[in-house]
Amino acid sequence: MARLFGTDGVRGLANGEILTASLAQNLATSAALVLTEELRDSGSGRKPLAVVGNDSRVSGQFLQATVAGGLASAGCDVIDVGVLPTPGVAYLTAALQADLGVVISASHNPMPDNGIKFLQRGGHKLDDVLEDRIEAHLDEPWDRPTGASVGRISSHENPVETYAAHLISTLERRLDGLTVVVDCANGAAAAAGPLALDQAGAKVIAINDVNDGLSINDGVGSTHPEMLQKAVLEHDADVGFAWDGDADRCLAVDGEGNLVDGDQLIAILALGLHDAGRLPGDTVVVTVMSNLGFVKAMDAAGVHVKQTAVGDRYVLEEMRRGGYAIGGEQSGHIIMSEHATTGDGILTALHVLQRMSLTGRTLADLASVVTRLPQVLLNVKGVDKARCKTDDGLLEAVATEEKALAGSGRILLRPSGTENLVRVMVEAPTHHEAEACAERLADVVRSRLAL
């Protein structure tokens, strides 16, 4: 059987063949047994504590109830924080000294999908080993507590306000005088995002901030920034920010309506820390998908770049391993380890605004440090992705194209983690060159790796 856990928890069509209430309950009980094993072995007699939150999609209601029930049946006391961004759940997991956290969310995926991701003590995402242990314990017999040993389920009194206060506390100055449009993706940030920015002093115009359970990510948010670009111009705002459904991503729009991606936002924040002498190892961590223009900009500023496999969890693992302060992905997952254990879109927005306020520079000016090379990404379907890194003919074709680019561009072939496809990414001095190179390599992939 295929591995149940993906790059960010377990995802699928809510109430479909995989992500059912039954699976949610089994995952919850298995996670409780695995993640509280040390506490139970200690003999302290203390009940484990779990924090559970969700984004705004309607299926989150039955999944959250089922997960909370499963945790309580395994002897965990549960604090339900309701609709809250993933980083908010992670923060409260750490702040409340909970033994584990659970987020019911499919992030930027369409509304019919949902997902379950677990956090260990301290609010950190799980590594592959822990996820495999949880999966291995599914449907195994276990000693069920009874009577007073079962867990209790309660609600947090003010999770949104508590999380927003934490976000504001990370700032060194107020944001008065800045006008900001925020696209909440009709998701988990609809309450916390505007509240945090408003209390920090910015004038906030919120769009797509309803939580009807049905509209999350529907043509809005960080995957569809067009509405935000229009709103920034209409309101003559200084800047706009777009979050995804669970607000662990953030993309921006400058005052001229231009999109500012994750690479550029990471550069702005990393250089701010570098200038202040607060960038450990003068190093930033990104994935192999970051634009070559970002790497060149960091090199010119004396900042080292470490690159990982695609996925914010791998960025975070490298950051924790090296004690680094900032890292993230082009898609807008940005981790500021001084203040958060996960990517946090609202935190990113606050600190980009602070950088604008401190320097007196526009977002367009700050983002101009990165000159992005044209990038083309093609998905080649129906191929044997396992041979992507070993086929001699394909490797020879890649070497030929790399020689032609002569260091002025970059080629990356990456097998999909979930489908029989290979992603061909090419960066080159012009879009035409990148597109032509990507098409040539895509043809080679089709012919060499055909199933």
Q: Rounded to whole angstroms, how far apart are CA atoms 424 and 63? A: 36
Residue 139 burial (C-beta neighbours within 10 Å; 0-12, 13-18, 19+): exposed
Selecting among 107, 222, 331, 357, the annotated active-site residue is: 107
Q: Which residues contact 293 (CB under 8 A, 6 or more apart)?
A: 263, 370, 371, 372, 373
Q: Rounded to whole angstroms, how far apart are CA atoms 25 and 29? A: 6
- Kind and range of the H or E run holding 157: none
- Residue 412, number of CB atoms within 10 A of its CB: 15
Per-residue DSSP letter, 344: -
Q: Any catalytic annotation for residue 107?
A: yes
Show the tokens assigned to 34. 């695995």
Strand pairing class (304-308; 283-287) = parallel
Sign of torsion, CA 117 120 126 130? negative
Q: Rounded to whole angstroms, how far apart are CA atoms 326 and 266? A: 8
Q: Rounded to whole angstroms, how far apart are CA atoms 439 and 436? A: 5
| Residue 92 near residue 155, CB atoms below 8 Å | no
Q: Where are the beta strands (DSSP E) in 301-408?
A: 304-308, 326-328, 334-336, 375-381
In terms of Cα–Cα distance, which of 127, 123, 128, 86 is closest to 108?
86
Enzyme catalytic residues: 107
